[in-house]
Chains A and B, each alone.
Chain A
Amino acid sequence: QKEVEQNSGPLSVPEGAIASLNCTYSDRGSQSFFWYRQYSGKSPELIMSIYSNGDKEDGRFTAQLNKASQYVSLLIRDSQPSDSATYLCAVYPGKLIFGQGTELSVKP
Chain B
Amino acid sequence: ETGVTQTPRHLVMGMTNKKSLKCEQHLGHNAMYWYKQSAKKPLELMFVYNFKEQTENNSVPSRFSPECPNSSHLFLHLHTLQPEDSALYLCASSQGQGKETQYFGPGTRLLVL
Contacts and interface: CB of A to CB of B under 8 A. Distances in A.
A46 interface: yes
A53 to B, nearest CB: 16
B104 A43 contact: yes
27 contacts: A31-B99, A32-B99, A36-B104, A42-B106, A43-B90, A43-B104, A43-B105, A43-B107, A44-B43, A44-B90, A44-B104, A46-B101, A46-B102, A51-B99, A88-B42, A88-B43, A95-B45, A95-B48, A95-B56, A96-B33, A97-B42, A97-B45, A98-B42, A98-B43, A100-B40, A100-B41, A100-B42
Contacts of B40: 100
A92 interface: yes
B101 A45 contact: no
Contacts of B90: 43-44
Contacts of B101: 34, 46, 49
B51 interface: no
Interface in A60-77: none
Interface string B78-91: 00000000000010
Interface in B33-76: 33, 40-43, 45, 48, 56
A96 B45 contact: yes
